[in-house]
Amino acid sequence: MSYDGAPILERVSLDVSEGSFCTIVGASGCGKSTFLRLLLSQERASRGKILLDGTPLPEEPTPDRGIVFQRYSVFPHLTVAENLILANEFEASPITGRLFGSARKEALCEIEPLLERIGLNQAANRYPAQLSGGMQQRLAIAQALIKRPKVLLLDEPFGALDPGIRADMHELLHDLWRELNMTIFMVTHDIHEAFKLGTRLLVFDKVRHDPQAPEAYGATITYDLPIKANDRGDADLVALASGEKPNTAADS
């Protein structure tokens, strides 16, 4: 993937099985968000191809892939419930994006179980600005799940949350991942979060450097580690993925 001829990602080749939870770490600016945008079809790879279930990705974002950003994933002028029915409103009425009367009532009824699942049933008529950060991110996740995507893309979704709230969000996300059997790609700056949640860790970094031309090369995947449940607290693996020298070889 290049922007204006400058490579951002190069020689990226991987095969991800359905139901994986891939966590992605790497230095700032190395192309992690770009990678997610490629998976969403918000960007098109300059070379190479990306297949989903053996078929090239559609050229535009489609409901089979949902995304949540660190902030601003939801519409501030719509209530919690309105944010959640929006996708159905646009599907039913592409021009106005609104449902009225019994159709709207039905759409609001349909989202009730989801509202309950994410603990926002008491906040259905509040606007995002009236919610805490954690509640806003729960809404953002629910909005991304409304069309039951096969693939969920998360770009530092918990980066702005307090540690206590973050732990609750981890639990919610893990449960939803299992219940809905999605494949997840999650960018995070927190290596412990990456090990706690993921089944596979992808580390992005530059391996080729030209001191005369810092922009000459892009980043690639330098570590691709399966994470087993008993690795989650493994300090050596954490050190390895953070770019530090581990005490023992942790090549799996």
Ligand X SMILES: Nc1ncnc2c1ncn2[C@@H]1O[C@H](COP(=O)(O)OP(=O)(O)OP(=O)(O)O)[C@@H](O)[C@H]1O
Minimum CB separation from ligand X for residue 88, in Å? 31
Contact 232, 196 (CB under 8 A): yes
Min CB(217)–ligand X separation in Å: 12
Per the DSSP assignment, residues forming a β-bridge with 10 are none
List residues near ligand X by CB under 6 A.
3, 8, 26, 28-34
For residue 33, the minimal CB distance to ligand X (Å) is 3
The least CB distance from residue 121 to ligand X, in Å, is 33
CB of 26 or CB of 128, closer to ligand X: 26
Report the DSSP pairing between strands 220-226 and 65-68.
unpaired
- Pick 4 or 15: Cβ nearer ligand X: 4
Contact at 8 Å (CB) between 192 and 216? Answer: no
Minimum separation from the CB atom of position 43 to ligand X (A): 8
Q: Which is nearer to ligand X, 135 or 197 (CB)?
A: 197
Nearer Cβ to ligand X (9/240)? 9
Residue whose CB is less far from ligand X, 63 or 214: 214
Nearer to ligand X, 32 or 138 (CB): 32
Minimum CB distance to ligand X, residue 137 (Å): 17
- Indicate the residue among 7 and 128 with the shorter CB distance to ligand X: 7
- Residue 162 CB, nearest distance to ligand X (Å)? 20
Find the helix packing angle between 80-92 and 133-145, rounded to 10°: 20
